[in-house]
Amino acid sequence: MHSIAVYPGSFDPITNGHIDLLERALKLFDNIIIAVAANPGKQPLFSTEERLEMLKDSLAQHPLKDRVKVDLFQGLLVDYVQSIPTRAIVRGLRAISDFEYEFQMALMNRKLNADIETAFIMTGMRWIYISSRMIKEVVRSGGDVSGLVPDNVQKRLTERLAGFCKNSLC
Ligand code: PNS
């Protein structure tokens, strides 16, 4: 039987930490569906289409790309998962600080649909300190994030955010 898991997130934008997690998840599941939240609680920097495009570009040359699908979801994650032949969600854990939020989210999802389980995977040590939020903050302030995000993402971030702190209060 073919095992599938959904890897949901805002991916605003995708980082090398996300790719590391995807590779780890592919050791456990045959296929991963990266599910981009169209309406995440936070106000995203990039539109849904931009986030999807960056994900697809970042994975276009990946050796495991044939086992990965990128999709979009609206509304509740559990409803999206229910529409797919799987009951598995994968999420990454970097540090203790992630735990409370992830724990709450997993339990809420379980309350909403008791058939769906969340599996947590530890991010590689190399990426333990990076997050999309921090990446954006660094680029906004003129810092270099090369090696932390795919090249296409770095380019987009620079186009969108370079000079931000010169032109506004931040
Ligand atoms: O990358 P993120 O921002 O931590 O991802 C969070 C995400 C998008 C997975 C989460 O906010 C989500 O599942 N949103 C969809 C709405 C939902 O199902 N909410 C109930 C569970 S908290």
Q: Does the structure show a pLDDT above 60 at 167?
A: no
> Each residue of 140-163: b (16+ CB within 10 Å) or e?
beeeebeebbbebbbebbeeebee
163 band by pLDDT with thresholds 50, 70 and 90? low
Decide if 21 is inside a domain.
yes
Dihedral over Cα of 52, 55, 61, 63: its sign: negative
Decide if 170 is inside a domain.
no
Decide if 82 is inside a domain.
yes
Q: Report the alpha-carbon distance of residue 124 to residue 70 in Å, rounded.
A: 22
| pTM score | 0.95
Decide if 143 is inside a domain.
no
Quick check: 16 and 150 in contact, CB under 8 A? yes
For residues 116-128, give the mean pLDDT.
Answer: 97
Q: Report the alpha-carbon distance of residue 52 to residue 68 in Å, rounded.
A: 13
Query: For 73-121, what is each residue's pLDDT tens digit?
Result: 999 999 999 999 999 999 999 988 899 999 999 999 999 999 999 999 9
Decide if 152 is inside a domain.
no
Residue 59, domain CATH:
3.40.50.620
Decide if 45 is inside a domain.
yes
Decide if 20 is inside a domain.
yes
- Ligand 1 centroid to Cα of residue 8, in Å, is 7
For residue 41, which atom of ligand 1 is closest to its CA?
A: 11
Query: For 31-83, what is each residue's pLDDT tens digit?
Result: 999 999 997 678 999 999 999 999 999 999 999 999 999 999 999 999 999 99
> When comparing pLDDT for 96 and 152, which is higher?
152
Name the residue of 7, 22, 105, 133 to mutate for ligand 1: max ligand atoms within 8 A of Cβ: 105
156 band by pLDDT with thresholds 50, 70 and 90? very high
Catalytic (active site) residue 132? yes
Q: In the Cβ-directed half-sphere of 148, how many Cα atoms lie within 13 Å?
A: 18
The pLDDT, as a whole number, for residue 170 is 58
Catalytic (active site) residue 42? yes
Catalytic-role residue among 51, 91, 94, 156: 94
Q: Containing domain of residue 113, as a range? A: 4-128
Q: Report the alpha-carbon distance of residue 17 to residue 169 in Å, rounded.
A: 29
Q: Which of the 8 DSSP states describes residue 141?
A: T
Count of domains observed in the chain: 1
Decide if 159 is inside a domain.
no
- Ligand 1 centroid to Cα of residue 35, in Å, is 10
